[in-house]
Amino acid sequence: VLDEERAARVLESFARQGLMRHLGAGIVRLDHGFCAVAADRRPELTQQHGFIHAGVTSALMDTAGGYAALSTFSASDSVLTVDFTVNLLAPARGAQVIAEAAVVRTGRTLSVCTLEAFVLAYDGRRVHVATGRQTLIRLTDTSDQPPPEGERP
Amino acid sequence: VLDEERAARVLESFARQGLMRHLGAGIVRLDHGFCAVAADRRPELTQQHGFIHAGVTSALMDTAGGYAALSTFSASDSVLTVDFTVNLLAPARGAQVIAEAAVVRTGRTLSVCTLEAFVLAYDGRRVHVATGRQTLIRLTDTSDQPPPEGERP
Amino acid sequence: VLDEERAARVLESFARQGLMRHLGAGIVRLDHGFCAVAADRRPELTQQHGFIHAGVTSALMDTAGGYAALSTFSASDSVLTVDFTVNLLAPARGAQVIAEAAVVRTGRTLSVCTLEAFVLAYDGRRVHVATGRQTLIRLTDTSDQPPPEGERP
Amino acid sequence: VLDEERAARVLESFARQGLMRHLGAGIVRLDHGFCAVAADRRPELTQQHGFIHAGVTSALMDTAGGYAALSTFSASDSVLTVDFTVNLLAPARGAQVIAEAAVVRTGRTLSVCTLEAFVLAYDGRRVHVATGRQTLIRLTDTSDQPPPEGERP
């Protein structure tokens, strides 16, 4: 289980992500080494066929993985994605997309997450739409905050 | 060089992507087998440090690759991303992010693109922030349009 | 469960892979949409520290995935790897490496496998050393055999 | 240009890779941040159609990338692959396979290489058969040698 301090830290950091707010995304589950992020389908999130854009799905997968890793770190450490892969299994056609990330390896420097994404289809089924892998690096004693006043981000 | 019909088709399809509009992204260069998509930094596109979110960068990379491939197809064919990979080389800290995709292999069924992303840093330099690979599938005789009236996308 | 004809077809094809013989690798489990390939550690399979080379691990992962996919195809179809990714979780230090592949999506044209690799460590534990994803293409009505006599492979 | 000491270090480490010897592979070009590894086609390196196995191609790509990175490190540092991706562009049908790796980013901890593979086809053309990306980690003050006597690798 995740202690309250770490949970608060993840939620506070997520709240600072302008993109997640802009996409209407929220953390829907958070545990030690696990994070799920979801967004409802809106016209603002679509590709040319009207389905949820793979760019939304992958942004949610990347973000979920970052917070899954951060949830295992001490409060003085920060996290950055090193790389990730996304395999699209089906069009994201439905009312909501949910990205789930689980830490499969955590080391002193690097973490690896499995990433999965699902849509809640119109008939109520949960459809597996994407699968991926993510490598992340721990930044020891590095702030998760924006650059100091006067420096442009 | 890209013929006018194909260029018009790409631009029309891009214009139907609600996400690209929502991110403020536009096609800034288009050629036969090449597409570049850019977006200016805004608070709506940021991660927790205030930098451009890797999810924006990868959404632009995926989209650029889709249209690079589509630019080589005949008008009756459509395109879907099969998978893509993103390696982040540096934080996307700057005034604009530009994703460039070039087709390196085009076959009857599958295409492969190289994906690169750059930021226009505040000092005017163009910084290489991400590199990736994308596999796409050609959908022969398949519409690039939304599902017919009455079917939910 | 896998019917006998498909199982025979997979084993016959595997036996034609000169590399697998050269690495001392064999199929240790085969099911509908699942294949495991293993090789014992020998000096011929090592990298500079004496551990099993990541190239061996990934060759076994790729091969296991190909046969996991082929096990779901009809006898007239053949398979080719489109792309794969490998995340190394730990050094492959042990007496044997085992690659396991499971089909997570099978379509008319493309299949996707999850790839995992383990070593049998010297203390008897099974250690997860690699994880990956693979995209494969079905070649309809295409022989799994070498080119006809007179054509060089 | 690569200084002699680093070049010697790379060649000595490569010579300790049992797999490279077993595959008949050798370093054919080495520069600061660049390495090419090649192997001639032999029945021992083939897949079921008689072409060079993708497992050979990817093993050579991974190895070339490792030494491209190591060529930029100081003598006290060692290197490990974190992850890599391989997109296969064409069957490896020809007399020789050559993997080329170039460092595109080198940091205090992580390096990223682009990986490309070619075959020398029977008609003398050089055919691009694979492209990929690799992330590597620098192990500071870590030996590139096998474990001490008495410990099993």
Mean pLDDT, range D119-145, rounded to an integer: 94
Please check whether residue B95 is in contact with residue B120, taking contact to mean a CB–CB distance below 8 angstroms: yes
Is D44 in the C-facing interface, judged by CB distances under 8 Å? yes
Chain A residues in contact with B59 (beta carbon < 8 A): 53-56, 58-59
- Judge whether residue C137 has pLDDT over 90: yes
Rounded to whole angstroms, the Cα distance separating B83 from D85 reads 11
pLDDT in tens, D73-97: 998 999 999 999 999 999 999 999 9
Q: Are strands B25-31 and B126-139 parallel, antiparallel or unpaired?
A: unpaired
- Judge whether residue C146 has pLDDT over 90: no
The pLDDT assigned to D152 comes to 85
- Judge whether residue C5 has pLDDT over 80: yes
- Judge whether residue D44 has pLDDT over 80: yes
pLDDT in tens, C69-106: 999 999 899 999 999 999 999 999 999 999 999 999 99
Per the DSSP assignment, residues forming a β-bridge with C26 are C38
Structure tokens at D35: 């390495």
The pLDDT assigned to C150 comes to 80
Task: Give the ipTM.
Answer: 0.95
Is A106 in the C-facing interface, judged by CB distances under 8 Å? no
User: Which of A87, A90, A114 is facing C135, going by the closest CB pair?
Assistant: A87
Residue D76: other Cβ atoms inside 10 A: 11
- Judge whether residue C149 has pLDDT over 80: no
Sheet containing strand B78-88, strands side by side: A25-31, A34-40, A96-106, A110-120, A126-139, A78-88, B78-88, B126-139, B110-120, B96-106, B34-40, B25-31
pLDDT in tens, B55-102: 999 999 999 999 999 999 998 999 999 999 999 999 999 999 999 999
Rounded to whole angstroms, the Cα distance separating A12 from A24 reads 16
pLDDT in tens, B17-42: 999 999 999 999 999 999 999 999 99
Chain A residues in contact with B13 (beta carbon < 8 A): 48
- Helix, strand or coil, per DSSP, at residue B47: coil
How many contacts, defined by CB atoms under 8 Å, are there between A and C? Answer: 32
Contact D135 A82 (CB under 8 A): yes
pLDDT exceeding 70 applies to what percent of chain B?
Answer: 100
- Judge whether residue B145 has pLDDT over 90: no
Chain D residues in contact with A133 (beta carbon < 8 A): 83
Q: Compute the nearest-CA separation of C109 from chain B (Å).
A: 9
- Which residues contact residue A52 at a Cβ distance below 8 angstroms, ignoring those fewer than 6 apart? A39, A41, A45, A46, A92, A93, A94, A97, A119
**CA B94 and chain centroid, separation:** 19
- Judge whether residue A1 has pLDDT over 80: no
The pLDDT assigned to A143 comes to 82
Mean pLDDT, range C35-46, rounded to an integer: 98
Mean pLDDT, range B140-153, rounded to an integer: 83
pLDDT in tens, A23-41: 999 999 999 999 999 999 9
Angle (deg, nearest 10), helices B4-15 and B54-70: 150
Rounded to whole angstroms, the Cα distance separating B38 from B54 reads 14
Chain A residues in contact with C131 (beta carbon < 8 A): 104, 112, 114, 133
pLDDT exceeding 90 applies to what percent of chain B?
Answer: 88
Mean pLDDT, range A95-102, rounded to an integer: 98
Please check whether residue A22 is in contact with residue B25, taking contact to mean a CB–CB distance below 8 angstroms: no
Q: Which residue has the higher pLDDT, B5 or C150?
A: B5
The pLDDT assigned to B151 comes to 82
Residue of chain A whose alpha carbon sits nearest to that of B91: A80
Please check whether residue B136 is in contact with residue B122, taking contact to mean a CB–CB distance below 8 angstroms: no
Q: What is the DSSP letter of A47?
A: -
- Judge whether residue C1 has pLDDT over 80: no
Rounded to whole angstroms, the Cα distance separating D19 from D17 reads 5
The pLDDT assigned to A148 comes to 81
The pLDDT assigned to C142 comes to 82
- Judge whether residue D40 has pLDDT over 90: yes
Q: What is the mean pLDDT of chain C?
A: 95
Is B106 in the D-facing interface, judged by CB distances under 8 Å? no
- Judge whether residue A149 has pLDDT over 80: no
The pLDDT assigned to B152 comes to 84
Sheet containing strand D110-120, strands side by side: C25-31, C34-40, C96-106, C110-120, C126-139, C78-88, D78-88, D126-139, D110-120, D96-106, D34-40, D25-31
The pLDDT assigned to D5 comes to 92
**CA C85 and chain centroid, separation:** 13
The pLDDT assigned to C17 comes to 97
Kindly indicate the confidence band of residue B149, based on its pLDDT and cuts at 50, 70 and 90.
confident
Q: What kind and span of H or E run contains D119?
A: strand D110-120
Rounded to whole angstroms, the Cα distance separating A83 from B132 reads 9
Residue C107: other Cβ atoms inside 10 A: 12
Rounded to whole angstroms, the Cα distance separating A130 from A54 reads 9
Structure tokens at C99: 């690659």
Whose tokens are 């396979």? That residue is D97
Choose the weakest-confidence range: A78-82, B114-118, C60-64, D149-153: D149-153
The pLDDT assigned to D1 comes to 73
Rounded to whole angstroms, the Cα distance separating C100 from D96 reads 29
The pLDDT assigned to D141 comes to 82
Which 132-151 residues of chain D touch chain C by CB within 8 A? Answer: 144-147
